Every structure is written in C-alpha cells, then in structure tokens.
Amino acid sequence: MDKKSYEIKMVSKGIWAVNEYQMDYMYIVEGAERSLVIDTGTGTGNFKSVVESITDKPYDVVCTHNHVDHCGGIGQFEKIYIHGADIPALTKGNGLDGTISVFNRRRYSARGFAVNPEGSLPFTLDSFEPVDTSGIKFAEISEGFVFDLGGRSLEVFEMPGHSLGCICLLDRENRILFAGDSISKILILPLDMPDRERIGMWLGGAEKILSLRPFYDTIYTGHICPAPVELFLDQIELARRAINGSLKEEFLQADEFKGMLYHYGQAYFTLREENLKTRDYRRILNPEKY
C-alpha cells in the first residue's frame, strides 16, 4: 500500500495548511521577506522538508503551545519560538520525560492509526526517536510580540487555559486568527486548579480575543481548518454559563471522550482527568460502538 504523505493545501493567499494524517494542522505563512511556520505536529515525518518545499524564504518556527501534537516535531528545527510558560514541560529530562517524550508521541499517534488504513502511514509506533531538547534554542515570546514577515505581520496574544503558555496569532492585514487548540470542538482544560478558575482563565483570554473580532473573519486552529466563528461563540457562552452555575456537566460522549463533559451548542469542555486518561481515538470512527 502506498504510504500517505502530508496533505498540503493553500487555504488563503500565502497560507498553506499541512494536515498530518488527520491528526493535526500546521500552517506556513509567507510574507514578502520571511515565512512563519506555526506548529510542528507530532514529528512523525520529515515536516522540515515539507516546509522547505513550500517556501523558499527564510523562516521562523513558532509553537502555539507545548503539547505533543504541536511540538512533537521541534527536533527538526534549530530554534523554536514559544511562550516561556510552556518551555519547562518540553525540556524536562532534556525532552525524554517531557510532553514530547516517545511515550506521549506514541500514545497520541494512536489517533493517526485510528483514522487511517492500517499500514498506510509512513511510520509505526516503533519508529519514534527521542527528541533531545537540549540542542534546541527556545526563544520566549509573550503578549505583543510581533512576527514581521514583510507586508504581513502576526501579533501574539496570550490565551492560557489549554496550557499555561497558549498563544493565538493575529494577522490583521489578512483578517486571520491562528488559535492553536484554544478554539476547539472539545476544549481540554487540564491545568491543576479548581474548575471555575480553569474555565475563568480560558474565558479571560477568550473575551480578549472576542474583543478583537473586528480584525478577523477566519479562524485556523490546530485541528479545524477553518473553524466556524460560531464554535468560538458557543465556547464563550459555555464558559460563562459554567461559571455562573446555569450549566452543569453531563455524562456524554464526544469523539474520543466519554464521561462528564460540559456541552453547549457546538462546544464541549473536558476538565476531568479520567476523560484524558481513558480517551480512545477509535471512537472518532465508530462513536456508536462505544
């Protein structure tokens, strides 16, 4: 069987979305002088060669947050821009014990095996190599940092909740918001703090991003390309209602999650650790079976 390659499509002028085996999206944004790579995927294939086949401009690489499906490929690059709050989890044990450990990359990549035909992927669970993060230069970014690509610029906005260092990037010239996983059909809020604080932390950033609504029409996320603005509005309403107590968790199934979830409109929030531990990606294909 032919091995799949990354699916690449131009989604807006000068923006390519790279789909990594239906697990996640990375984006390459090209300006007149430089390009910006947003996220690196799980690092299952040679993503760097994909980047260099798309753009011949000098480029920087930024990660929207430190999770395995966004930072798994950072070992292919010399320098990574990322929020400072998300660096320690990446560098724990020089990467071996951190969020992009081989164990975590294998576990997450079960999603790829669940949604692609057996044997079609150019990797196996045994082919993941450890990423030694001691050789990577991390450049800390925070609110207000601007990537100037020449003729287009992307401004960093902090939106903690899904991780402490989650960021969004706003391309005002082209009216596009890159939201990482902060806008998501099933938003995972895994931080160790009381539920209302977790939701409140996310909502604080979300209200700020909502206030920028006059400056974007299109939202590209780590898993939805493009994401409907209505999903973001449903997430905000969910968060407001959960905080004021008018919305309660229910026992539900949404894709790979089954358990106590918040649900409003198109949006789900998962806060229970057991939902994360027991997630089963096969449910994405056959939800009725579970």
Enumerate residues 6+ apart whose C-beta is below 8 A from 35. Answer: 28, 29, 51, 55, 57, 58, 59, 60, 149
Of the pair 30, 181, the CB lying nearest Fe ion is at 181
Within 213-264, strands assigned E span: 218-221, 250-254, 257-264
The least CB distance from residue 175 to Fe ion, in Å, is 25
User: Which region holds residue 255: left if phi is over 0, alpha if psi is between -120 and 50, else beta?
Assistant: left
198 binds Fe ion (CB under 5 A): no
By C-beta, is 89 or 239 nearer to Fe ion? Answer: 89
Number of residues that bind Fe ion (CB under 5 A): 2
At 117, list the tokens.
């035909």
Q: Which residues from 48-87 bind Fe ion, rule CB under 5 A?
A: 67
Q: What tokens does 266 get?
A: 């198109």
Nearest partner of 158 among 144, 171, 172, 147, judged by Cα: 144
Interaction between residue 152 and Fe ion (CB under 5 A): no
Among 24, 86, 171, 181, binds Fe ion (CB under 5 A): 181
Nearer to Fe ion, 86 or 181 (CB): 181
Residue list 204-243, contact with Fe ion (CB under 5 A): none
Beta strands in 31-114 (DSSP E): 35-38, 59-62, 79-83
Q: Is the Cβ of residue 149 or residue 166 nearer to Fe ion in the bound state?
A: 166
Strand order, beta sheet including 153-158: 146-148, 153-158, 167-171, 176-180, 218-221
| Minimum distance from residue 34 beta carbon to Fe ion (Å) | 26
Task: Give the residue from 157, 156, 162, 142 showing the smallest Cα distance to 239.
Answer: 162
User: Residue 27 or residue 55: which is nearer to Fe ion going by CB?
Assistant: 27
The contact pattern for Fe ion, residues 11-40, with x = CB under 5 A and - = no contact, is ------------------------------
Alpha carbon distance 172, 215 (integer Å): 6
Which one of 5-13, 83-91, 180-188, 223-231 is the stretch in contact with Fe ion (CB under 5 A)?
A: 180-188
Contact between 59 and 51 under an 8 Å Cβ cutoff? The reply is yes
Minimum CB–partner distance for residue 67 and Fe ion (Å) = 3
Nearer to Fe ion, 189 or 236 (CB): 189
- Contacting residues toward Fe ion, per CB under 5 A: 67, 181
